[in-house]
Amino acid sequence: MSIERFDDECPGCRPAMMDVRTGKLFPADSAEMKIVDRLWRETTPEERRAWHRFTCQNSRALVDVQLAEAFGKRLEHALSAMARQKGSA
């Protein structure tokens, strides 16, 4: 893992999720992380690099903020849909 350089093959350069109640990371095989992984695979290389610059390098360049925010909203929408589905089951 490198803060200085994004590497598509590096597991540390991918989004992770933490359970705010327990402070522990969600396991890779959890429903939440499966959604994160699916959406991450759908991103473009530029979106992935912008995510890295925003989250790891604290970039506040407008394009990085916009791309990171757009990915975050896709995640939020997908995770909310999953929660609604679980709630109605």
Which tens digit of pLDDT belongs to each residue from 1-48? Answer: 578 899 999 888 889 999 999 999 999 999 999 999 999 999 999 999
User: Is the pTM for the entire model greater than 0.85?
Assistant: yes
Say if 48 falls within a structural domain.
yes
84 phi, psi to nearest 5 deg: -65, -40
Judge whether 84 lies within some domain.
yes
The answer to the question of residue 37 being in a domain is yes
Distance CA 61, CA 75 (A): 21
CB neighbours of 25 closer than 8 A, spacing ≥ 6? 16, 17, 18, 19
Q: How many domains does the chain have?
A: 1
Q: Residue 89 has what pLDDT? A: 67
* Percentage of residues of the chain with pLDDT beyond 90: 83
CB atoms within 10 A of CB 62: 8
| Residue 75 maps to a domain | yes
Residue 83 domain boundaries: 27-88
pLDDT given for residue 23 in this prediction: 96
Confidence band, pLDDT 50/70/90 cuts, at residue 84: very high
* Inside any domain, residue 45: yes
- Is 21 strand, coil or helix? coil
Would 80 be classed as within a structural domain? yes
